[in-house]
A = this chain, B = another copy of it.
Amino acid sequence: MTALNWEPIDAKAVDTARVLAADAVEKVGNGHPGTAISLAPAAYLLFQKVMRRDPSDDQWIGRDRFILSAGHSSLTQYVQLYLGGYGLELKDLEALRTWGSLTPGHPEYGHTKGVEITTGPLGQGLASAVGFAYAQRYERGLFDPEAAAGTSPFDHHVYVIASDGDIQEGVTSEAGSLAGTQQLGNLIAIYDSNQISIEDDTDIALSEDTAARYAAYGWQVQTVDWNTKAGYVENVAELFDAIETAKANTTQPSLIVLKTIIGWPSPTKQNTGKIHGSALGGDEVAGLKKAVGFDPEKHFDVADDVIAHTRGAIERGQAERAEWQKGFDAWAAANPERKELFDRLEAGELPEGITEALPVFDAGKDVSTRVASGKSINAIAPLLPEFWGGSADLAESNNTTIEEAGSFAPPERSTAMWKANPYGRVLHFGIREHAMGAIINGIVLHGKTRPFGATFLIFSDYMRPAVRLAALMGIPSVFVWTHDSVALGEDGPTHQPVETLTALRAIPNLTIVRPADANETAWAWKAIIEHRDGPVGLVLSRQNLPVFERGEGDASGDTFAAASNTAKGAYVLAEAPNGTPDVIFLATGSEVQIAVEAREVLRGQGVNARVVSVPSQEWFLAQDAAYRESVLPAAVKARVSIEAGLKLTWAPFLGDAGRSVSIEHFGASADYKTLFREFGITTEAAVAAATESIAAARA
Contact = CB atoms under 8 A, between A and B. Distances in A.
Given A432-B168, A495-B120, A216 B209 contact: yes
Given A177-B206, A204-B417, A431-B165, A668 B492 contact: no
Contacts of A489: 30
A322 interface: no
A171 interface: yes
Contacts of A100: 670
Interface string A199-241: 1111111111110110111100000000000000000000000
Contact of A177 (B208, B417, B503): B208
Given A181-B208, A393-B198, A462 B461 contact: no
Interface string A498-530: 110011001111000000000000000000000
A609 interface: no
Copies of this chain held together in the complex? 2
Interface string A642-675: 0000101101100110000000111011110011
Interface stretch (A42-50, A103-111, A331-339): A103-111
Nearest to A122: B431
Interface string A543-564: 0000000000000000000000
Interface stretch (A8-16, A464-472, A681-689): A464-472
Interface in A163-190: 164-165, 168-174, 177-178, 180-181
Interface stretch (A151-159, A340-348, A408-416): A408-416
Contacts of A391: 199
A507 B537 CA distance: 19
Nearest to A212: B216
A442 interface: no
B205 A430 contact: yes
Given A199-B396, A415-B200, A108 B493 contact: yes
B168 A431 contact: yes
Contact of A495 (B30, B106, B204, B210): B106
Contacts of A323: none
Interface string A303-315: 0000000000000
Contacts of A294: none
A465 B499 CA distance: 12
B200 A417 contact: yes
A51 interface: no
Contacts of A468: 461
A632 interface: no
A420 B648 CA distance: 46
A273 interface: yes
Contacts of A199: 391, 393-396, 417-418, 428
A384 to B, nearest CB: 23
A383 interface: no
Contacts of A174: 168-170, 173
24 contacts: A99-B671, A104-B493, A104-B668, A106-B669, A121-B459, A121-B462, A169-B431, A170-B170, A170-B173, A170-B432, A173-B173, A181-B206, A199-B417, A200-B416, A200-B417, A205-B393, A207-B218, A208-B216, A212-B212, A212-B215, A499-B506, A499-B507, A499-B508, A506-B506
Given A105-B491, A205-B430, 10 more contacts: A98-B671, A99-B671, A106-B494, A181-B207, A199-B418, A203-B415, A204-B407, A204-B428, A503-B506, A508-B664
